[in-house]
Amino acid sequence: MGALANPGLPGSFSFDTAIYASAGSNYGGVPALSQYTIYDTPDPAYVTPRINISVFANLGIGAPWPFPNTSVPLNGHVCIPRGRGPFPLAVFAHGNHDPLSNSTSGYLYLCSLLASQGIVAATIDVNFLNGGNFGENDARGKGWGSEAVRLLLDFAFRDLNLERVFVQVFATNVAAIRVYEKTGFSREGVLRKAAHIDGERVDVVMMGILREEHAGI
């Protein structure tokens, strides 16, 4: 697809929004978590499994989450443009420094704008990691980042039937570039001094992978 004329304005695509979530969370039984009750009744076609994050992270302190870190739900929204596509995919894992303040609304607004521009856009709610967490740095060097990218690629190519996935990475983020290369991405170009970080201009590396290049297909 070409460059967006103004991604801050709605585009011409109609789209559908679905809620996906793991069954049995029962946020409604915890008054402090009433903002999350939308995940108590996910679309039957979008019920997700739970995952065990105990090997690399604890739940955030400050909220009475109704699940342990050994059985964390996969919750979020996905906005899907109507039409044959192919459509690019954008995924946002999000949280809020105050775990009792659900950050979904802002990201759902962003996903709605992207979907109206012909982009499949999804949120992944990780608010449960905020609020005084510790232990997450233990994940570094254990391959969890690579595995997460592989799972997203499986979803993109198998479920969404995309032909291509691309990312843009700050050239200074060497670890992320290594992960993308490890999972099959190729460097496709460099936007020189395209980003402004901490008062300095840095390059942005463009990377992409085609359907036939993904080992999971």
pLDDT above 60 (res 85): yes
- Report the pLDDT value the prediction gives residue 152, as an integer from 0 to 100: 81
Kindly tell me if the per-residue pLDDT of 2 is higher than 70: no
8 Å CB contact between 125 and 19: no
Tokens encoding 145: 């980042």
Q: Over the stretch 127-154, which tens digit does the pLDDT of each residue have? A: 887 755 555 454 455 566 777 788 888 8
Can you give the pLDDT at residue 197? 75
The answer to whether 58 and 69 have CB atoms below 8 angstroms apart is yes
pTM for this predicted structure: 0.64
Q: Residues 41, 46, 49, 51: is their CA dihedral positive or negative?
A: negative
